[in-house]
Amino acid sequence: MTPEKKTALDYAAMGADTLIRKFTVNELPPKNRFHYHQGVFLSGMERVYFLTENKKYINYIKDWMDYYIDENGKIRFDEHERQFDDMQPAIMLFNLYKTTGDQRYKKVLDSFAPMVEMWPKNAQGGFWHKYDRPNQMWLDLLYMIGPYSVMYAHYFNRPYLFETIYRQMNLMRVNMTDPKTGLLCHAWDDSRMIEWCDKNTGLSQEFWGRAIGWYAVAIQDILDYLPADHCRRGEFISAGIDIINALIRFQDEETGLWYQVVDKGDRQGNWLETSCSCLYTYAIAKAIKNGFLHKSYAKYIHLAYDGIIKSLSFEGDNLIVSNICVGTGVGNLEFYFKRPTV
């Protein structure tokens, strides 16, 4: 097929196929770690499976899980007690447990729920990003633990987790939203102690693209499992609409993409970042599909999608996505501008 005749699902399948060709399950990076890097890739692969019903995709996911989960339902190379980043792949265990009945998967799911309940919190009830980041909330957190928590609440009748995740979202929305742009800062330290924060607000300085993407996508995915009559549903919907309305103001009109530091596209050293552009496109498209946004917003996702497709390249049959910022801590403008890409 010529590129203009490929569908979105074609590209998704090519991405999944590339991963399968390039990496055996034990080599999928980061090796020997149950981590969101693999979890994000594999959750995309899971979506491809749901749409195509091609079992090679679900078999790869199952093989990866079976490499990491031992016969007693324990995760090998276990580090997840100290950060939510190492719990995110659990979202794929719900489907595997439902289809296989394998109790090992249920044991992993059950082991994470008490950790969510007992996780260290700042004075306002916000989860620390990691054990070694006391009192800090990062936007990334809502994606890393939000979908798992509401799925667990949905499937295993733990409705209090809906309220737990609402509190995290609302603390971010209230404390991390910039009133001028509507964008959310990357991080917030309620104690005002960390060196990167404003000592009056506790906020970090910049609007990092992918962090806002995690927040926007998490809200849309959480809404899949929040009951239609839940008292917090309207607030999740409005939070999702607010961040989308903020983001569309900063879409690059020429390429359809967004910048690494979202509001500073005119600054020398800034650059168009693919992962945040993909996340925003997903969030806007899903909000339209679910009726939260008017269909007139489709112009933004069509422009973005075309820009993303034009940025892709191939190495033989392998699909290559470029200009992805590496995993990133919190910093100043130069810090984000100079982050390596993969």
Q: Which amino acid is at 65?
A: M
CA 139/CA 213 separation, integer angstroms:
9
CA 235/CA 223 separation, integer angstroms:
10
Structure token digits, residue 86: 């190492």
Nearest to 286 by CA among 152, 81, 110, 147: 147
Considering 85, 86, 140, 263, which one is annotated as catalytic?
Answer: 140
Nearest to 172 by CA among 199, 133, 134, 212: 212
Answer whether 197's CB lies under 8 Å from 204's CB: yes
First-to-final CA distance of the chain? 27
Q: Positive or negative, the Cα torsion across 242, 244, 245, 246?
A: positive
Structure token digits, residue 335: 């810090």
CA 276/CA 52 separation, integer angstroms:
26
Active site residue 140: yes
Element (H, E) at 315: strand 313-315
Structure token digits, residue 225: 């499992």
Nearest to 173 by CA among 234, 102, 86: 234
Q: Torsions phi, psi of 313, nearest 5? A: -140, 175
SS (H, E, C) 142-205: HHHHHHHHHHHHHHHCCCHHHHHHHHHHHHHHHHHECCCCCCECCEEECCCCCCCCCCCCCECC
Which residue bears the tokens 């719900």?
94
Task: Tell me which DSSP letter residue 318 carries.
Answer: E
Q: Which are the catalytic amino acids?
A: 140
